[in-house]
Every structure is written in C-alpha cells, then in structure tokens.
C-alpha cells in the first residue's frame, strides 16, 4: 500500500544519526505524531547499505506488537501465566535456555517487507494467519525452556531426546499419524523439539478441536501430554525467567546487504542439497539390467519436451527451465546414475522434479549490490 507523501513540515524534521526522525513538541507541550523513519524513502540499493542497528526499530512501535498481544491473550486464555518476551532479530527462533521469541526485522515495517519480497520472492509470516502459526510454534519452544519440560521423563518417552542433533535435511513420512500437521512440510518430523513445538501450537490455538481432529491418531497421545504439562504448570512460577535477547538487531552491525548475501548463499546451498536428494530418489547408482539407460541420456533425449511442459505449467521463461535441466543433467552424469524402472515412470518423475526445482529456483532474486 503506497505511503502518503510527507508534508513539508515532516520533511524538515531533524533526523538522528540512526535515521529516525525526531518528534517535535508544540507550544502547548503536546507531543506531535512521530514522523516517518527517514530510510523509508531510500531506494533498495541505498537501504541495503544500512546497518541493522541504524534502522532505529522498536518492537513496541511496529504492527507486530498487536500480534504479540494476541499471542499473550491466547496463552492467558489457556491458563498460562508466563508470557514469553519478544524481540526483533534477523529471523524467527527461540534459543535454548531462553523463554522468549525472536521475530524477523522485516515484519516490523512495510518498507522492509517490500525489500524482503523483492529479494526472496516471499515473506515468511507476511500475513496474520501464517504469523500467528509461527508465533504459536515458537511459544511452544519458549514455554518448553521456561518450565524445563524437556527434562521430564514423559517428554523424552513421547517426543524423543531433545539432545538429538538437528539434521541438515529430514525425510518426511507424509502418511504418518504420529505427528500433528501445523506449519507444513511435515515439520514436526524434523526433530523432537520441533515435534513438541508443533504439538503445542495445535493445542494452544483458540477453539482448537484437536480432540476430534486427532482422535485415533498416535499423535493424540502427544497432544494429551501437552495438555497435562500445561495443567501442571498453571499457577506455578517458571524456573527460567530470564529476558535475554539473542542477536537483537539494535546491536547488529551487519548491513542488510551482508545479511541478504548470506541468506541467498544459504538458500542456494539448500537447493543444491535438495536437487541431489530428488535425483537419487528417482535414479539408481547401479544399472538394474545390462541395457539400463543412463539418467543423463534420458534427460537429454526428452529435454525439449520436459522444458516446454514445465515452462508452460509454471508460466516461466523456457530459457530458465533449460538452465535448471542442464544442471540436473550435469549432476546425474557426475553421479553416474541410471534409470531404475520403466522409461515412462522415469520421465514422469523427472518432469515432477524439474517442475519442483524450477519453482523453487524462481522464488529468489539476486539483488545488484555494490561490492
């Protein structure tokens, strides 16, 4: 939504070194409305050159505050007295041992959301529904920390050891009923701590019908345990009550350009790992029979058909799809993979893989940044 042009008075308001326009006090002593942040009028390239600590953002003065209040109201409605503190950081997380929630800086202002969408092609938590889902999930981590729930024997028996290492990737079982469905991508299956947080999020949601939805599922026992845990902590003082803020942006001296370079690099590494995972699901390292076709040969022979079909489905430039197919051909050639089943099935799976990777690669724009 376009912002109204500032008045002449607003444009001449003094600006602090942090880029925040100062509020004026009139003759009557009544504080005037705070002028817009000066950096909101900068171009993307100029904005990327700023440091996080120079943005002058405060959670209390952002649209996020009402969502934090809503989360606290939901917790209170469930009889939970302890309220996790929330601060602005580079991304969503709840650190081990800290009963609080970090939320990404770009949700603190529409101008920053616009920049995030331009570079990453999406804004995680960019609407009320998805933001509240994530906040409920992170609140599960925060309350787990506050009441040290993971130390309980029942927690470990039902969810598994919280000390288990986090995997770089996890293979989900879409049909499993041992886990709740909340954030998507079967995230509860990633790690015992995520399983607990996802289960808590389903439990805490207002008007949650988990008793009906998950009746007969093994996941019902997890929801029942969360219900027991929350009943046991009502009216008790949380053992962990620190208000630590890990990696807050007001002390972060990195520039936004440095942040996005790192984020894009991490995103590219994720995509490469996903490509290898998909390739090895479809093709085999050993020929199933003496006349097995090499995977690279199959993709080259059907390349034009696959490119045209995927480009048409996704509305993408055929050139872009072609580049991704070339990457896949090079990779299966390097790995010396073969078609393991019928040619028809291999082509069908290859088209699915090409479409998925093309969609993923198209959701990211590398910005033009000064070196």
Tens place of pLDDT per residue across the chain (371 aa): 333 333 333 322 333 334 444 444 444 455 455 556 889 999 999 999 999 999 999 998 888 999 999 999 999 999 999 999 999 999 999 999 999 999 999 999 999 999 999 988 789 999 999 999 999 999 999 999 999 999 999 999 999 999 999 887 676 776 789 999 998 778 899 999 999 999 999 999 999 999 999 999 999 999 999 999 999 999 899 999 999 999 999 999 999 999 998 888 777 655 566 677 788 888 888 887 888 899 999 999 999 999 999 999 988 888 778 878 888 898 888 888 999 888 888 999 999 889 888 887 665 444 433 32
Three-state DSSP string of the chain: CCCCCCCHHHHCCCECCCCCECCCECCCCCECCCCCCHHHHCCHHHHHCCEHHHCCCCHHHCCHHHHHHHHHHHHHHCCCCCCCEEEEECCCECCCCCCEEEEEHHHHCHHHHHHHHHHHCCCCCCCHHHHHHHHHHHHHHHHHHHCCHHHCHHHHHHHCCCCCCCCCCCCCCCCCCCCCCCCCCCHHHCCHHHHHHHHHHHHHCCCCCHHHHCCCCCHHHHHHHHHHHHHHHCCCCCCCCCCCCCCCHHHCCCEHHHHHHHHHHHHHHHHHHHHHHHHHHHEECCCCCCCCCEHHHHHHHCHHHHHHHHHHHHCCCHHHHHHHHHHHHHHHHHHCCEECCCHHHHHHHHHHHHHHHHHHHHCCCCCCCCC
Question: Domain boundaries in the chain?
Answer: 8-41, 59-249, 256-362
pTM value > 0.75: no
């Amino acid at each position: 939504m376009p912002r109204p042009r500032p008045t002449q008075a607003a444009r001449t308001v003094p600006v602090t070194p942090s880029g925040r326009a100062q509020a004026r006090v009139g003759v009557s002593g009544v504080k005037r409305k705070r002028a817009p942040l000066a950096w909101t009028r900068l171009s993307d390239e100029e904005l990327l050159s700023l440091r996080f600590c120079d943005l002058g953002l405060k959670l209390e003065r952002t649209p996020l505050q009402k969502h934090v209040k809503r989360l606290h109201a939901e917790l209170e409605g469930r009889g939970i007295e302890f309220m996790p503190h929330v601060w602005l950081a580079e991304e969503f997380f709840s650190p081990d041992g800290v009963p609080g929630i970090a939320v990404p800086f770009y949700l603190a202002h529409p101008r920053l959301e616009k920049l995030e969408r331009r570079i990453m092609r999406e804004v995680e938590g960019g609407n009320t529904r998805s933001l509240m889902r994530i906040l409920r999930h992170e609140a599960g981590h925060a309350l787990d920390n506050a009441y040290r729930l993971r130390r309980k024997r029942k927690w470990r028996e039902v969810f598994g050891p919280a000390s288990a290492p986090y995997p770089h990737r996890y293979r989900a079982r879409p049909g499993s009923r041992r886990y709740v469905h909340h954030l998507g991508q079967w995230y509860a299956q990633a790690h015992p701590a995520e399983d607990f947080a996802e289960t808590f999020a389903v439990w805490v949601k207002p008007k949650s019908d988990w008793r009906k939805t998950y009746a007969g599922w093994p996941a019902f026992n997890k929801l029942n345990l969360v219900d027991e845990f929350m009943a046991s902590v009502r009216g008790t003082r949380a053992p962990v009550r620190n208000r630590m803020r890990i990696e807050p942006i007001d002390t972060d001296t990195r520039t936004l350009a440095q942040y996005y370079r790192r984020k894009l690099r991490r995103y590219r590494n994720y995509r490469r790992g996903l490509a290898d995972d998909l390739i090895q699901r479809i093709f085999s390292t050993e020929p199933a029979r003496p006349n097995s076709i090499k995977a690279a040969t199959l993709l080259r022979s059907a390349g034009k058909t696959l490119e045209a079909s995927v480009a048409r489905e996704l509305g993408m430039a055929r050139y872009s799809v072609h580049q991704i197919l070339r990457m896949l051909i090079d990779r299966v050639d390097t790995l010396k993979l073969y078609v393991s089943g019928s040619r028809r099935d291999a082509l069908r799976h290859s088209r699915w893989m090409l479409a998925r990777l093309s969609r993923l690669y198209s959701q990211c724009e590398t910005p033009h940044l000064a070196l």
